[in-house]
A = this chain, B = another copy of it.
Amino acid sequence: MPAIDHFWAVIPAGGAGTRLWPLSRQSSPKFLRDLTGSGRTLLQETHDRLVPLAEDRFVVVTGAAHREAVAEQLDDLAETAILAEPSARDSMAAIGLAAALLERTDPDAVMGSFAADHVIDDPAVFADAVRTAVDVARAGWLVTLGIEPTFPSAAFGYIHVGDPLEAHPGAAAVREFVEKPSAEVARGYLDTGCYRWNAGMFVVRPTVLLDLLAEWHPDFAARLRELAADLSRLEEIWPTLPKIALDHAIAEPAAAAGRVATVPAAFGWDDIGDFDSLATLLDQAREHDAVGTTVLGDEDLVHVVESSGLVIPRGGRMVAVVGLDDIVVVDTPDAVLVTTRARAQQVKQVVSGLKDAGRADLT
């Protein structure tokens, strides 16, 4: 299959991944890490799976602190393809700036925005979904990929799918976006068959995106277009942009207005939100029977007696675990974490606690 004409891949590369501490740090966030043992970082894998669709048409938006690391990891990229945010201002500003630039660069552009730290297990199914989404986006829709849920996750938002779009086989209207539900409510969603995971993957024409933004946040849209017209004003304009997620700024009101479509797709997806999620992913990838311990790294550095869970030996030292089920042990040169898969969400409390204790150097 050839690449998609005028298709631009936008990769927001942000997020500290605090629930993956001490593996993920502010200075070395999860998108810069090889979390799956594949030999490629999450950012590189995101890039790899988009190259067949976008060729060299990429825009990576990242924090100024990570610009150099991103350029090193994606060394094929043109220097101008990396936008460095002077400060973190959430996804609307990041993706909106990319849209405003593309609107000027390529009037026929369709952009697809895909976070740098997600894992997708079937690039071909992903590519098919993007191709369909691009067709729908050309007709003026804001299109989101709707991931088929494989379990009733309480950690993801959901897309409530509406009627099929007659003009676009494989696509449907989005009735609404739903915030993370309880596990019980999520189970009900799965039973109906009408709900999809919202992975925050949007495909849209840049002008449609900015025009939608202009409906609900006209100043925001205007400032993004001003900035795109003169990037030398970045330091001046950027700090004035609202800190808001694209979902809240555009996607939710646009869905209510009947302007959002979804392309349901069945590729395996995970945002590796915490060590429990990472353990599940690694077990699936290795067709592991979920008995015993999964090691991410050098197995010779792990010695386990009657235990199960995830051990990540990155400190060069021996890690021994005796008599613990569903344990998570992450060893690094300056910090070691011990928790359980069930409590993995609370790891972010360690990060905030360390900051409070004056040990931000470890976060």
**A interface residues, Cβ below 8 angstroms from B:** 21-22, 300, 303, 305-306, 315, 317-324, 327, 329, 331-340, 342-344, 346-347, 349-350, 353-354, 357, 359, 362
Contacts and interface: CB of A to CB of B under 8 A. Distances in A.
Contact of A339 (B300, B324, B339, B353): B324
Number of copies: 2
A343 B350 CA distance: 26
Nearest to A361: B318
A340 B318 CA distance: 18
Contacts of A337: 320-322
24 contacts: A22-B318, A22-B320, A303-B350, A303-B357, A305-B346, A306-B343, A306-B346, A315-B317, A317-B334, A318-B335, A318-B354, A318-B362, A319-B336, A320-B337, A320-B338, A320-B350, A321-B337, A322-B337, A322-B344, A322-B346, A323-B343, A324-B338, A329-B338, A331-B336
B317 A339 contact: no
B333 A317 contact: yes
Contacts of A318: 22, 334-336, 354, 359, 362
Nearest to A313: B336
A60 to B, nearest CB: 32
